[in-house]
Amino acid sequence: MSRLILRRLAIGVPTLLIIITLSFFMMRLAPGGPFDQERPLPPEIRRNVEKAYHLDESLVQQYLRYLGGLLQADFGPSYRTKDFTVGQLLVQGAPASFKVGGLAVLLATVLGLLAGIVAALRHNSWADYSVMGLAMVGIAIPSFVMAPLLSLIFGVYLAWLPAGGWGNGALPFLILPVVSLALPQVAQVARLARGAMIEQLNANYVRTARAKGLRERLVLLRHALPGAMLPVVSYLGPMTAALVTGSVVVETIFSIPGIGRYFVQAALNRDYTVVMGVVIVYACLIIVLNLIVDLLYGLIDPKVRTV
């Protein structure tokens, strides 16, 4: 187990460095800058501001300075949000993003697995066609369409739920954004679970278990389900990272003060350090979650070698 963790870290650290490097130089090469405004700053003031943030240095010097700050867990100051560091903004936005994203992951996993297993057990029946039809609709309709549609129907027309806002994370304010985030992922998980479950049900060892007279419930839970979970677990890693770090569209539509909303504002304002901070957090989550997925493989299916 420890060898596996060390091996994954040996791959993850260079990968993270490559992501940081590419993101840093791509942000600098994009048109515009953090202090470009409709009314330009006087040249003297602009030079002083750029000097204060070390933007008057060469790109290589800025890059090395930024890496040095990261080694000290310092993401630097925000260029456009005065008196705030990037770390402070991430700490402020993380609870909302983690709460909405975590609930969306739970909802997508549970509903997707149930729908996929039911479709596999009722293969080529009306239940199978219904689940897969709804899954295709869920995949085809993106979040930036689903979120305003749900807000319009349940928040404006029916007035059952708040159309936007955070409300300190109260349940009524969570339902619409969580459902908007989870629905496309429910469809993806259902398709993966259905395909994997059908493959496992036709496997030789499942047929052998049935031939031995085991009850159908035991055959499904002990033999078919663990193998069917592997592709689903593989997908849960990147899905969790994407949902937990916050959906840019959903957080913007529902006015949720999360990481995704800060990312949009920073990208529009060319706030380099905030964009870099969100990218680094996302990359770290991907690396850590993929490591967790590798570890779960051995627990779900002992035949999978993880050392």
Number of domains in the chain: 1
Please indicate, yes or no, if residue 58 is contained in any of the structural domains.
Answer: no
What pLDDT score does 97 carry?
84
Please give the average per-residue pLDDT across 220-236, as a whole number: 80
What pLDDT score does 249 carry?
76
What CATH number is given to the structural domain containing 137? 1.10.3720.10
CB atoms within 10 A of CB 20: 18
Instruction: Return the structure tokens found at 242.
Output: 């994407």
What pLDDT score does 128 carry?
80
What pLDDT score does 21 carry?
92
Please indicate, yes or no, if residue 191 is contained in any of the structural domains.
Answer: yes
Please indicate, yes or no, if residue 27 is contained in any of the structural domains.
Answer: no
What pLDDT score does 162 carry?
87
CA dihedral (206, 210, 213, 217) positive or negative: positive
Please indicate, yes or no, if residue 159 is contained in any of the structural domains.
Answer: yes
pLDDT tens digits for 160-177? 888 888 888 788 888 988
Boundaries of domain holding 155: 94-269
Instruction: Return the structure tokens found at 265.
Output: 């504002």
**Cα–Cα dist 54/181, whole Å:** 39
CB atoms within 10 A of CB 71: 8
pTM (predicted TM-score): 0.79
Distances (CA, A) of 213 to 21, 61, 204: 59, 71, 15
pLDDT tens digits for 58-91? 888 888 988 888 888 888 888 877 778 888 888 8
186 contacts: CB under 8 Å, gap ≥ 6: 107, 108, 111, 112, 115, 135, 138
Please indicate, yes or no, if residue 203 is contained in any of the structural domains.
Answer: yes
Please indicate, yes or no, if residue 19 is contained in any of the structural domains.
Answer: no
pLDDT tens digits for 103-150? 988 988 888 888 888 888 888 888 888 878 887 777 777 777 888 888
Please indicate, yes or no, if residue 214 is contained in any of the structural domains.
Answer: yes
Please indicate, yes or no, if residue 190 is contained in any of the structural domains.
Answer: yes
CB 278 within 8 A of CB 246: no
Residue 37 in this model has a pLDDT that exceeds 70: no
